[in-house]
Chains A and B, each alone.
Chain A
Amino acid sequence: MTQVVFDRRRVNGPEESHIPSFDSKDDEIWSLGQPRNGRGQTDIRLLFLQPRLIDQANGSAYVETQRTKIACAVYGPRQSKNTAYNEKGRLNVEVKFAPFSCDRRKTPMRDAEDRSIGVAIYQALVSSLRLELIPKSSIDVFLTIIEADGLEGCIASGTIAASTALADAGIEMMGLVMSCAASIMGKEIWLDPNEEEARSSTGVLVLSCMPALGTITSVWQSGRMKTDEVLKCMDVCQEKCADIHSVVAQILLEKV
């Protein structure tokens, strides 16, 4: 049941509404133990990336990995208001889910999920930027998730989109940040899990790194994983990030 918070600033529906319940289960649902649907264990979903989509922004990118669709815009570096003097620039990352982006409608109020993805993308990006070069300024990175298929996929694709948009905006950085997710499925490691796969896996890991420098910028792991599994996941992810990096760098070269 979703309780609609009464908000005078929006057109409101009924006080209470709930999602439809169905007579049968969705037959397309995949279950644990079956081989992976449509791709190999270390295959990631096809990535479509287009920089410079939003012309009012300093830099922008649109990324699509099958069902996941994310638009990202970078505004800045611009003067940061209402903040005390700071020798370093500030990076703000704001993530917003479109109300229709998930199976269940998202009410317009921001919830914890937006913030946690925002923080994860912030962590992935912040060490790649040379914020000491832009004192008193802020860089705003806005992401709108148009369609989501797995939280981990959103973090990974969002990071790639944001880093591409930052490069498009001409903001100085150490290197492009690429990101990839891995999940533990029984004894196997499956890369770039979608929502169903992530739900049935025992542990998930999202790794973000700068392949050009060979440095990791952030690792986010949740669920149960053995230490050697974590290391193994990080290795495969890093390899995959290097592959994605060459593609993204090529796309940027063609555009700029």
Chain B
Amino acid sequence: MQNVILGIKNFFKRRGIGFYFTMGGVLLSVIEVIIYSVAFSTMDYAQYFSQPAVICSVFAIILGVGLSLTKWTESLAPVALGVLELAAFMLFIKDGYWYFTTQFFGGITMQAIVTTYYGYLCSIILFLLILGVSIASVFLRQSKQIKQTENEGGNEVCQNQNI
């Protein structure tokens, strides 16, 4: 048990700021999937709902977490997250733009903006946040920079070649 705790401690100990950005993006993606699915499950808005967008987001979450677990793939995690969430966002726009033409049929007015359905506003804000976070994460180190050393057996102890 202690080894597990120690392993977890070590795991997080060597994580860089990029990792936490990625995880932040993953967390936002989870929230986004929940809000989007709930908000658009009612028949009023079901016609604007994009199932592929949700599938993309779910894959983004799985890959964002999964790829972060190994040092060989951790640098790909924010890329996968960003690309899949971008695709999800675009699908969201494509299937939902009719709503905007309806909502803003009379022009982009304050009244139209404040009466915009919460599902749209929240989803857009979350998508933009996720994209921002994941793009930033691509340029940040996923693991801390630790000087490369070799143990007695000549095996690599730690490397942080954030590609």
Do they bind each other?
A: no
Interface residues of A (CB under 8 A from B): none
